[in-house]
Amino acid sequence: MPASFLSSRPLGPAEIQVSALSLGSWRTYERLPAETGVAILRAARDEGINFFDDARYDDETGTAPMRTGYSEVLFGELFRRAGMRRDETVVTNKLWWEFWPQQSAAAELDASLQRMGFDYVDVIYANAPPRGMAVADLVAAMDGLVVSGTARAWGMVNWPADLVGQASQAAASLGVMQPCAVQLPYSLVRRSWVEDPAMTRALSASGAAVIASFCLAGGVLTGKYLSGTTAGRAAGTLNDPRVAAAGAVAEELARLARRLETTPAALALAFPLTNPAVISALFGATSAEQVRANCAAIGLLDRLGRDDLAQLQRIGLAEDHGQAGDAAQVLPAMGRAGLTRQPLPLTGPPHVRD
């Protein structure tokens, strides 16, 4: 797949070009052999993906040498082992604010960078402001990270439309950089958050692009649970209302995939890219083969006819019963820590800085 096609999309107002597909790290590398993680990153690079999403997540394996943040350590180590060039990739991280106000934005990002072994991230996403933090203060803090050089641009993750609008207004009033992106759940069965008219207006005002997340509904839209398998991260949650909607349409999506001689995963990833507001669709993978198969979504965009596209867009349309911007109804817990802990030490397993 030509890297020139995948890497030709501007990330909102930032002077950053990103691929139409992006690779995430949630609940991934800590569960895999290191050589598999290296192969995944190399496959993504070879397919033309230059956009990589990382964050500090709590350990769920019981084997990590630290209770939270080992996801960042592993990502950095695998990134270097895979021979990835920092100047040819776009790497993101997130501020969760769970230790605020004891830990500032700068301190939280600095801790993440030390664990990753990076000097900067290209985009730092902010979780919605915690109680007691004004939106304007958050925007000023994010601009401070950009000015300091520890981030090239900033964005938001899982913000409701009204706060996205407030952030854009605050950036304009302060005369600082607008957010370049908003990472939001967007899939065949969860459309309301992105397609809400209020979000459309907020995105237009800021110029921010949408990075679509949870596009495969935790893997359920791939169809792998149709056979009744009990393996997989979503296996124990198939009756959860946040997951059941995807299970209800998985067979219909699989039928369309068979007719089009592709995979349900490729179709599910192609769907968000039909929305002009979406710049990149984020997915996770547990093998290099899965990365390559998912990248077929790009070729689908070229060969789907009008009727095929209309059929794809109808799948799951009736299943979106959530309220726009209600993260609790859309996503399972992201594995972050509780809100009462003290700020973490910076130290972790040794690694080499880029």
Count of residues making up the chain: 354
pLDDT at 334: 44
Model pLDDT for residues 5-44, shown as the tens digit of each residue? 565 789 999 989 999 999 999 989 999 999 999 999 999 9
Whether residue 324 is predicted with pLDDT greater than 70 in this model: the reply is no
DSSP per residue, 188-210: TTB-HHHH-HHHHHHHHHHTPEE
Residue (of 39, 94, 50, 34) closest to 69 by Cα position? 94
CA distances, 68 to each of 7, 37, 115, 220, 333 (Å): 32, 19, 11, 27, 15
Residue (of 332, 308, 297, 324) closest to 190 by Cα position? 324
Give 230 or 309, the one with higher predicted confidence: 309
The three-state secondary structure class of 51 is: strand
Is the alpha carbon torsion for 254, 214, 197, 10 positive or negative? negative
Residue (of 128, 101, 98, 127) closest to 341 by Cα position? 98
Whether residue 126 is predicted with pLDDT greater than 50 in this model: the reply is yes
- Cis check for the bond before 272: say yes or no (omega within 30 of 0): no
Cα Rg of the chain, angstroms: 19
pLDDT at 341: 45
DSSP per residue, 134-178: -HHHHHHHHHHHHHHTSEEEEEEES--HHHHHHHHHHHHHHT-PP
The Cβ of residue 215 has, within 10 Å, a number of other Cβ atoms equal to 26
pLDDT at 192: 96
Model pLDDT for residues 216-245, shown as the tens digit of each residue? 998 999 998 887 665 666 656 666 766 778
The Cβ of residue 67 has, within 10 Å, a number of other Cβ atoms equal to 11
Q: Which fold has domain 3-330?
A: TIM Barrel (3.20.20)
Model pLDDT for residues 152-187, shown as the tens digit of each residue? 999 999 999 999 999 999 999 999 999 999 999 999
Percent of the chain scoring above 90 in pLDDT: 78
Answer yes or no: are the C-beta atoms of 324 and 196 closer than 8 Å.
Answer: yes
Q: What is the mean pLDDT of residues 93-114?
A: 97
pLDDT at 237: 61
Spell out the domain ranges in the chain: 3-330
Token readout for 29 is 């590398």
Model pLDDT for residues 274-301, shown as the tens digit of each residue? 999 999 999 999 999 999 999 999 999 8
Token readout for 201 is 């207006």
- The DSSP 8-state label assigned to residue 4 in this structure reads H
DSSP per residue, 225-286: TTT----STTGGGTTSHHHHHHHHHHHHHHHHHHHHTS-HHHHHHHTGGGSTTEEEEEE--S
Strand 51-53, strand 181-185: pairing: unpaired
CA distances, 40 to each of 34, 75, 215, 290 (Å): 10, 11, 19, 8
